[in-house]
Structure 1
């Protein structure tokens, strides 16, 4: 009888948590924020357009998430990046 890996018996979210140490939602939010950071550095799109292009449907949620992850608002980050 073949041996099943324990991951095959767990729901996908548990498998992801065990593999990448993040919930699927947190992982997705981090990916979206990294993409937004790159857009802020390389484009002149508005903050709201960056948020929507990265999959955020709510600008205030994007701004709160960005500040929680990077310690400053998206507009402050863009200003600081432009000054470099």
Structure 2
């Protein structure tokens, strides 16, 4: 878990979400709002991750149409701790 929560890993994850033009989850927070939220709340989130008490919130489910027909399910997570 220490490797997962390293600052550089967090930066890479956020950059990937921005590159993918990540959509808001059920909480409505945009990718542009996320850095400020993390700056304020990261110490609490980090502590919960390390002590095993972090409980992720529900994801927003979206159906993405496939070119070959059918749909692909996509889960969009929220940012709240």
Asked which structure has the greater RCO (Cα within 8 Å, sep 6+), the reply is: 2
TM range (shorter): under 0.3
Q: Which has the larger radius of gyration?
A: 1
Hey, which of these two has a bigger chunk of helix by percent? 1
Hey, which of these two has a bigger chunk of strand by percent? 2
